[in-house]
Amino acid sequence: MAISLLTPEFIIERNDERCIRCQVCVRQCANLAHIYDEEEDRVLADDSKCVNCHRCVTLCPTRAITIRKNPLEFKENANWTASAIREIYKQAETGGILLTGMGNDKPYPVYWDRMLINASQVTNPSIDPLREPMELKTFLGRKPEMLKVENGKLKEKLPPQLELEVPIMFSAMSFGSISFNACQALAMAASELGIMYNTGEGGLHKDLRKYGKNTIVQVASGRFGVDPEYLNAGAAIEIKIGQGAKPGIGGHLPGEKVTAQISQTRMIPLGSDAISPAPHHDIYSIEDLRQLIFSLKEATDYQKPVAVKIAAVHNVAAICSGIARAGADIIVIDGFRGGTGAAPLRIRDNVGIPIEFALAAVDTRLRQEGIRSQVSLVCAGGIRNSADVIKAIALGADAVYIGQAALIAMGCHMCQKCYTGKCNWGIATQDPNLVKRLNPEIGARRLVNLIKAWAHEMKEMLGGMGINAIESLRGNRFMLRGIGLTSRELDILGIKAAGE
């Protein structure tokens, strides 16, 4: 075989004085980057196999291991960067489409970081959330045009609503892309927090049906695991049209990941590829989307809100207007930084638009058309902290989805190698020896901690603005100011510049 031109991306440094030859690193590395040499009684490293996931670093009892970026530099070139050259080598060697995992990591502007939040001074007193009630509760679903009340009671039944204690949900991650233990941790945490998690398009494992009240079940083009029981198992149904990490393309779960449990949950044979093409072949228009929405409503007796999830793309505002008119109760917009278990690198890094613009444009358009109240807006794709959530809600979101942040809470180190199925943290893998590294109870505890901490921070920020309910922040763009943005960008975001 010809020599590979690819040099290792990382180098593993081992402090031999500290190393006690316990071989934890050897046993922990699914990529086989650590090797124990019995004759020499030494632990060696194969740098080329290291993905820099920090599993060995974290578990080494004597802190003997450090992973560094390989300092080997190509001749400096602003156009032909090291990654540009390495990607060509890889494709020249394999002839394949480059794959990656998690969200877009390119240095595009992060608009969340170019918006600042207001606070009250003197004229409108701020509120101390530690002493005064502060409401984060959120209802997602279609709201009626008007409420008719008779004898103190609602005259007509409200359309079905999802009740969230905090306007944050765990976004769609299928059993297949992530492990059963990761799914269970998300389900347990959602249940404890009074929020929702989303099954993704891989069906619902029978052991997770008990978390139904906090489950959104997803229907995508491959319809994996979709039967009447599944549709009725959750609190809402989400139709997946697109995903921010890979707008316009579908998903392939490779046959080697279709284990016995996955085959049972997806209802497909063992070892068979699970193919979800980009289009639903029964949806070629807004009218067809309406048909799928209403076929799902008919099959569930109009008891569950139906959400439609799309990737943020160029004409997102017009598309969302169509989706609202097609009868969706909730629209989910996933920005170009949204995560994924596997996506072609070129698509992830070059297709779609930032969620901040998409969200502002959609909210503005639906208001202009007088249909904003007919539908709830959920935004997703790269939400990193509670300030991003506050900014999203001020721009017009009813709630947000978090995926990558939730995985990081469970132990993900963002090595972006989810597609290999060798996740050393037991998250993006189906290997039973790796899966058991993630304890669902501990995972759930960490997720609960994260959301509770964010909720506290959100209350502090709301109190600072003199607002005591998240409802009063929704679409309240006066609470945001732009910094370092062009006037065109400010217009699209619908906010003033800092100082105005």
Partner 1 sequence: MKVIDASGMHYKDLNAMIKQLIKNNTSEILVKNVQGQRYIGDGIGRNCKVIIEGTPGNDMAAYMDGATIVVHGNAQDGVANTMNDGKVVIHGNAGDILGYAMRGGEVYIKGDVGYRVGIHMKEYLDKKPVIVIGGKAGAFLGEYMAGGIIILLGLNVNDTQKIVGNYCGTGMHGGVIYSRIPIDSYKLGKEVKQAQAEDDDMEIISSYVKNFSDYFGFDYRSIMDRPFVKIYPYNHRPYGNLYAY
Site for partner 1 in 96-135 (CB under 8 A): 96-99
Tell me the closest approach of the beta carbon of residue 288 to partner 1, in angstroms. 9
Q: Per CB under 8 A, which of residues 339..368 are in contact with partner 1?
A: 344
With binding defined as CB under 8 A, does residue 416 bind partner 1?
no
Q: Toward partner 1, which CB reaches closer, 108 or 284? A: 284
Smallest separation (angstroms) from partner 1 to the CB of 73: 23
Handedness of CA 324, 325, 328, 333 (dihedral sign): negative
- Closer to partner 1 by CB, 96 or 499: give it: 96
CB of 95 to partner 1, least distance (A): 8
Could you give the 3-state DSSP secondary structure of residue 423? coil
Structure tokens at 360: 């502002």
From candidates 181, 191, 215, 300, binder to partner 1 by CB under 8 A: 300
DSSP for 164-183, please give it.
Answer: ESSSEEEPP--BTTB-HHHH
Report the C-alpha gap between 241 and 249 in whole angstroms.
10
Nearest approach, Cβ of 350 to partner 1 (angstroms)? 17
Q: Among residues 420 and 439, whose Cβ is nearest to partner 1? A: 420
CB of 111 to partner 1, least distance (A): 32
> Do residues 466 and 481 touch, judged by C-beta distance below 8 A?
no
Q: Which is nearer to partner 1, 344 or 411 (CB)?
A: 344
When asked if residue 90 is in the footprint of partner 1 (CB under 8 A), the reply is: yes
> Which of the stretches 126-134, 218-226, 384-392, 402-410 binds partner 1 when contact is defined by CB under 8 A?
218-226
The C-alpha R_g of the chain, in whole angstroms, comes to 24
Contact at 8 Å (CB) between 107 and 115?
Answer: no
Q: How far apart are CA 83 and CA 87, in angstroms?
A: 6
255 binds partner 1 (CB under 8 A): yes
- Distance CA(67)–CA(46), nearest Å, equals 12
Pick between residue 95 and residue 133 the one whose CB is nearest to partner 1.
95
Please identify which residue in the block is written with the tokens 């390119």: 106
Tell me whether residue 59 or residue 99 sits nearer to partner 1 (CB atom). 99
Cα gap 63→46, rounded to integer Å: 19
Among 8, 212, 254, 494, binds partner 1 (CB under 8 A): 254
Distance CA(340)–CA(342), nearest Å, equals 5
Interface of this chain with partner 1, residues 258 to 297, rule: CB under 8 A: 263-264, 267-269, 271-273, 275, 277, 281-282, 291, 294-295
Q: Is 231 in the site for partner 1 (CB under 8 A)?
A: yes
Distance CA 267, CA 1 (A): 40
d(Cα 30, Cα 25) in Å, to the nearest integer? Answer: 10
Q: According to CB under 8 A, which one of 61, 133, 152, 228 is a site residue for partner 1?
A: 228
Query: Of all helices (H) and strands (E), which one includes residue 392?
Result: helix 386-395
Contact stretch for partner 1 (CB under 8 A) within 71-79, 208-216, 249-257, 405-413: 249-257
Q: How far apart are the first and last CA of the chain?
A: 65
Contact map string, positions 10 to 29, toward partner 1, x by CB under 8 A: --------------------
Residue closest to 381 by CA, chosen among 345, 336, 349 = 336
In the bound state with partner 1, the residue whose beta carbon lies nearer, of 191 and 424, is: 424
Q: How many other CB atoms are there within 10 angstroms of residue 451's CB atom?
A: 25
Closest CA to 201 of 249, 239, 162, 248: 239
| Closer CB to partner 1, 71 or 95, in the complex | 95
Would you count residue 223 as binding partner 1 (CB under 8 A)?
Answer: yes
The size of the interface with partner 1 (CB under 8 A), counted in residues, is 42
Backbone dihedral region for residue 486 (phi beyond 0: left; psi -120 to 50: alpha; all else: beta): beta
Question: Is 127 in contact with 466 (CB distance < 8 Å)?
Answer: yes
Is 191 a binding residue for partner 1 by CB under 8 A? The answer is no
Minimum CB separation of residue 179 from partner 1 in Å reads 19
| Residues that bind partner 1 in the complex, under the rule CB under 8 A | 90-91, 93-99, 221-224, 226-228, 231, 252, 254-255, 263-264, 267-269, 271-273, 275, 277, 281-282, 291, 294-295, 298-301, 344, 419-420
